[in-house]
Structure 1
Amino acid sequence: MATNDQLKALVKSHADGDDPQFYAVAMQVAAKAARAGQSRFAQELRDLVDDLRERSDVRARVASIVPVVQPKGELGTLLSVSYPDARLGDLVLPDALAARLRHVLLEQRQRDILSKHGLLPARRLLLTGPPGTGKTSTARVVAGELGLPMFAIRLDTILTKFMGETAAKLRLVFDALAVTRGVYLFDEVDALAGERAAQNDVGEIRRVLNSFLQFLEEDTSESILIAATNHPQLLDNALFRRFDTVMDFALPDEKSVEAVVKNRLASFQINSLSWPRVIPAARGLSHAEIATASENAAKRAVLDGRSRIRTDELVEALTERPRSGSHRDKAN
């Protein structure tokens, strides 16, 4: 059942009209109920929240003007669009990082109030950290929480051996930012914004970076621009100054390991898990790897006709996952 703090959070979010926070707390209540063995109630509550979210998303999409639902022509080769339904409750972040993200969302939701005082909401986020630690998931959450489309920039189609072509394609993308409000994700941005002092045969990377910095400087749209990199040390220092917020993601600590496992296995019985064995087995793994291992353990239980997750099978699934640096980097 809900704790006192969760009940207060539900009432406060309802009074504030903060639907996303209301849904997030409700999902936490459902997860807690599932862990307590109240599976039927937990599923009914999750279904109810999902239904309310879907209705809210439909209203938001109808109310918002999105001229480029699916990018056309050359722009279609540069961007891929999706409508994420991810929410804050789906993320496992350290308290400080989660608080910064909530504040970014608050500024976006209250941008009209800020504008009356000559202030602009944070809309450029630089996310850094190892693969699988939640950077791309955070971009999806920003889009989902604000009811905006998410446009992923395909850097492989933007970068060409001809500087003029690359700059022209970047211009198309930044023009789209102004025309269609959305969340624009530049993943692996170090490919665009490498250190200008680095040696290069023809100085091409330096010219690409200069164009990118110029477009960032000139951009006055209401879209949210998110850049992510696994290698912040490769970024030119000038890029950091162009962003309102720099968020550094890290491998999960013990508290986060437990939270990721509980989130992924909320519909299973995990009361008997031995955390002193599970947490060391997850050491060195990213959030994504821990989630994958949890799912693998769950599939073994399902195929064995069980709803209870055993410590041994979860530890084994965690141990099987590759650690950072032991394999080729995977997607964020």
Structure 2
Amino acid sequence: MATAEQLKALVRSYAEGDQAQFLSVAMQVAAHAAKQGHSKLAQELRSLVDQVKTKSQIAPRRLEPPTPLTQPRGELAGLLSVSYPSTRLNEMVLQPAVGERLERVLREHKQGHKLREHGLRPRHRMLLVGPPGSGKTMTAAALAGEMQLPLFTIVLDGLITKFMGETAAKLRLVFDAIRSTRGVYLFDEFDAIGGQRGASNDVGEIRRVLNSFLQFLEQDQSDSLIISATNHPELLDHALFRRFDDVIEYNTPSGELANRTILAKLGTFTSDELDWKQLSASAAELSYAELARACNDAIKEAILDDKSVVTTQGILRAFEERRATRRS
């Protein structure tokens, strides 16, 4: 007979319309039945699965996105905001090592049925660390876009309260949603709830919230992708790091990466006369977001001056303005 987890997986995949996963679990049930000595039942199940595959010629994973909560309702309305990103990873300028690790996450999810047949699961708990504007939030959007899933962003203002036990109860609601509606769930500014226990400014309620988060994360068996992002990894409790399947570090772009970012943002406004060596040197320590905004400023200036391309000096001025904005 099927195990309790297999029965729940069958119902969940049926509810989500994921035929490939449904048949994959059915094959697991057949394998389990064979181990229990029910060879006839196992053979019948395998034959039924083969018949369905032959008739429908299904793909390993459905291409259409699941039907998510159109908008979170009830208490969830104040805890989750939803969007449907069209961003793709190839739109981002990433360090090669970071790009490879994100591609691996996508590959595991797109071929998750192969892993589940061997009792394994795709990576589904990620921690992204790095300075502001380095691409962490955009990564969550790109993964949601690639996987054709909704992006649910946890609203910290609604989650964290001053009342004892209330935040943990709201956190449970979030993880219930993670389990019931497949999507990419982003805990941005994660250090707000993942701070070190025992820190000088620690209060009992936040400590209980962190303990609850660790417990919920450890118990999560959903098909959703959970992403936590922080600008301050040094503030996180050490117990958190080993709970994630992947910890990916982001840095500000430099050298060739900075030039590629500038080139991508300028588009048709790129000039053959740009001094890339000077631009690369001036872009040092600016984030991806700051480079993008500076390029947009340079493009606006060119348009208002009735020019079809930007100049090196125009971009350099925009870079300096971004630095001045940061200092102020």
TM-score, with length taken from structure 1: 0.78
User: CA separation in 1, counterparts of 2:77 and 2:292?
Assistant: 32
User: CA separation in 2, counterparts of 1:92 and 1:325?
Assistant: 22
User: CA separation in 2, counterparts of 1:297 and 1:308?
Assistant: 9
User: CA separation in 1, counterparts of 2:202 and 2:151?
Assistant: 35
* SS state at 1:267 partner: helix
Aligned to 2:310: 309
After superposing on structure 2, the runs of 4+ consecutive aligned residues of structure 1 that deviate more than 4 Å are none
Determine if the alignment matches structure 1 residue 115 to structure 2 residue 116.
Answer: yes
Aligned to 2:248: 247
Aligned to 1:162: 163
Cα deviation digits, residues 222-248 of structure 1 (max 9, x gap): 000000000000000111111000000
Aligned to 1:70: 71
Determine if the alignment matches structure 1 residue 230 to structure 2 residue 231.
Answer: yes
Aligned to 1:152: 153
Give the RMSD, CA atoms, in angstroms: 1.6
Instruction: Determine if contact 1:71/1:80 at 8 Å carries over to the other structure.
Output: yes
Q: How does 1:203-282 map to 2 (within 5 A)?
A: 203-282=204-283
Length, aligned pairs only: 267
Instruction: Determine if contact 1:130/1:230 at 8 Å carries over to the other structure.
Output: yes
Determine if the alignment matches structure 1 residue 190 to structure 2 residue 191.
Answer: yes
TM-superposed deviation, 1:254: 0.7
Cα deviation digits, residues 266-286 of structure 1 (max 9, x gap): 122322100121112111110
1:315–1:200 Cα change, 3 Å: closer
TM-superposed deviation, 1:141: 0.4
The one-letter code matched in structure 2 to 1:206 is R
Instruction: Determine if contact 1:285/1:323 at 8 Å carries over to the other structure.
Output: no
Cα deviation digits, residues 274-329 of structure 1 (max 9, x gap): 012111211111010011000100111111121111111011111111279735xx
Instruction: Determine if contact 2:254/2:283 at 8 Å carries over to the other structure.
Output: no
The one-letter code matched in structure 2 to 1:64 is P
Aligned to 1:136: 137
1:244–1:201 Cα change, 3 Å: closer
The one-letter code matched in structure 2 to 1:151 is F
The one-letter code matched in structure 2 to 1:101 is L
Instruction: Structure 2: state its 5+ residue gaps.
Output: 1-61
The one-letter code matched in structure 2 to 1:199 is S
Higher mean displacement: 176-185 or 262-271? 262-271
TM-superposed deviation, 1:89: 1.3
Instruction: Determine if contact 1:163/1:208 at 8 Å carries over to the other structure.
Output: no
User: CA separation in 1, counterparts of 2:283 and 2:120?
Assistant: 43
1:71–1:303 Cα change, 3 Å: same
User: CA separation in 2, counterparts of 1:78 and 1:224?
Assistant: 17
1:138–1:201 Cα change, 3 Å: closer
Q: How does 1:12-161 map to 2 (within 5 A)?
A: 60=63, 63-161=64-162
Structure with larger RCO (C-alpha < 8 A, sep 6+):
1
Higher mean displacement: 296-305 or 177-186? 296-305
Instruction: Determine if contact 1:108/1:121 at 8 Å carries over to the other structure.
Output: yes
Aligned to 2:180: 179
1:273–1:67 Cα change, 3 Å: closer
TM-superposed deviation, 1:142: 0.3
TM-score, with length taken from structure 2: 0.78
Cα deviation digits, residues 22-64 of structure 1 (max 9, x gap): xxxxxxxxxxxxxxxxxxxxxxxxxxxxxxxxxxxxx95xx43
User: CA separation in 1, counterparts of 2:271 and 2:179?
Assistant: 48
User: CA separation in 2, counterparts of 1:253 and 1:202?
Assistant: 40
* SS state at 2:122 partner: coil
Cα deviation digits, residues 192-230 of structure 1 (max 9, x gap): 110012124642221111011111111111000000000
User: CA separation in 1, counterparts of 2:238 and 2:281?
Assistant: 37
The one-letter code matched in structure 2 to 1:182 is G
Instruction: Determine if contact 1:128/1:249 at 8 Å carries over to the other structure.
Output: yes
TM-superposed deviation, 1:157: 0.8
User: CA separation in 2, counterparts of 1:267 and 1:224?
Assistant: 36
Who wins on radius of gyration, i.e. which is larger?
2
